[in-house]
Structure 1
C-alpha cells in the first residue's frame, strides 16, 4: 500500500480506501462484510469511508463491528452527514441540530470516540453556510472530529466554505466527488480550486459503478448478480453507461490493461490515482477477493503514452461538464 497526505493537511491516508456504500447492511451482512474489512486491513488499507445514510445507518454499525479490536490510532475513519437518517423533518440537511445529533449517532454506531474526517455529504441550500460551518467548528473543538470535508460541492461552494473555515480556524481539507476515466466533471473547476486551497480529493466510483471492469458487454444481456440488475444497489447510476458506444470503448481498453500488467478494474483505479490532487480512491466490495484484486492498483505508475491512448479511446463518451456537480445537491432537502 502507498500513502498520501489528505490535501495539504498533516493527515496521511492510504491511497486506496475501503468504502461500504451499497454493500454493508444491504447487499452483504456482517460475516461477509467483516471478511471484506479484514481483507482490506491485510492489504494495508487504513482508511475506511462510510456515511450515516448508507443502508439506513446499518453500514456504520457493520463497519464499527468489523473494525472492533483494531488499534484506533492506526485507522482513519471517514463518515458523512446530510441525507435523511430518520423520519423527522430535522433528521436531514446541514442544520446545527442535525449535525450535532448525527455526529453522536455516528460515533455510537462506529464504536469510536472521534471521526478522523467528518464530511458534508451534499451542499444544503436550506441552511445558511455560516450555520453549517459554525456547527462543524464546534464538532472539531469538542474533539468529536479532527478534520472537515465536503462531498460533491462545486468550486464556488468549496471556496465559500474554505473562507469560513479559515475564519473559524478549523481544517477543511477534502472533497469527495465521483471521479473516473468516464466521469471527469471535477477536472475543469473543482480540482483547480482544491489545489489552490489545499484540499485533496477522496474519490468514489473509480470503476464507474463497475462499467470499467469490462463485465458489461455491448449487445449482451446484463450479467446476473450485478449492480446493473439490482434496483436497490445502484442500477440507476449504472444505466447511464450501458450504451453500446460506451461499452465498446471500454472493451478497447483491454490491450492497454494487458500492456500495463493490470486487470481493467486495476487500470481504472490506477488511472484516478495518477491525478496528483487525488488523495485516495475508494473501492467497495461484496467479496474479499475483490478487495485483494483492486488494491493491486496501489503504487502503479502509468506512462504518459498509455494515458494518452486511454484518453483517445474514452474522451468521446466521457462526461466533462463541470455544471453537473451542482445537480448533485438538490435545492430542497431530500
Structure 2
C-alpha cells in the first residue's frame, strides 16, 4: 500500500497528489551521470558524455558538461562547459580559453536553448525563477505542471512496469506517466508525445530508485528511446533515432549549501573579463593564464600517447590536431600573458 494514504479506488487527483508529494521531498539536487553517445548513429570520436546538473528551489542552477574522447579525459575536453545561474546572473566558464564571463539576469535565451534535453527528466522541476518554463515537444513537462493540469485522466486499469503495479495518468497523445502504486509517487515510465503531430517522441524508464535524504528517492538509472516523430509515414515515426542510458554515478539531495558552493567556478589560471579590454585572475596567486594553457596542451599529448586502444589513424591525427591547437593556444597565450601575467604580477 502507498505510504501517502491514497484513497481506494484511486482517482486522478489522488495519484497526482502522491506524485507531487514525492517530488516535493527534493528541494535541492546534485546529480552526476554519464551516458554513451547514440547507439543508433555511429560516433568514433567520443566514448561518453559526463555531465553534472545541480539545482535548488531558490533559482540556483549548475551545469558541467564534458566529453571523453579516444585520447582525452573529460576534464581536458576543450569544449567542456561549466555554468552557474543565480538570482544575480549567469557565469559561464570556457575551459578552452580559461575565461569566465558573467551576464546579468535574467537568463539569456541562448543559454536556455543550449540546456541538455534530459534536464526535466533528471530534476523534475524548472530551475529558473525569472523565466517561464520552456515546453518540451510542445508541452510543459515539470511535475508541478502535471499536478496542476486538469486535462490528465486516470486509466481504468493498473499496468505493470518492471514488475511494479502502476497507476497510469495521461493526456492522450501528449503525456503518459506510469506511477508506482505501492511506492507512492515514483514515476516508473513516461511517454512524451509531440503535441503538433501527436506522434510519440520519447519514452523514458526510471529504475533503481535510491533513498538519499529526507525521504527523497532518486532513480539511479534513466533510459530513453527517441523516435523520428517528424517522419512523414506512420512507419517512419516508429523509427528509433537513439537509445540513451543515463547512469547516475553520484547524487546528493537536499544539501542546499553544496549547491551554493558551486557558484565558485574556476580552474587553474582562469581569468575573468572585467570589461572589453581588461581581465584579471579569478584567484589571486594562481599560475598565470598562459602557463595553464601550456600545461593543458601537455596533458592532452601525454594522454594521447598513453592510450593503447586507439586506431592508428587516430594516434597519428590526434597529436597533429593538438600541435595545431598548441600553436593557436600559444598565440592566445602570448596575448593573454601580457594581460594576465605581466599586469597581475
Instruction: Pick the TM interval, shorter chain.
Output: under 0.3
TM-score, normalised to structure 2, is: 0.26
User: Which protein has greater RCO, CA pairs closer than 8 Å, 6+ apart?
Assistant: 1
Larger strand percent = 2
User: Which protein shows a greater Rg?
Assistant: 2
Greater per-residue helix proportion: 1
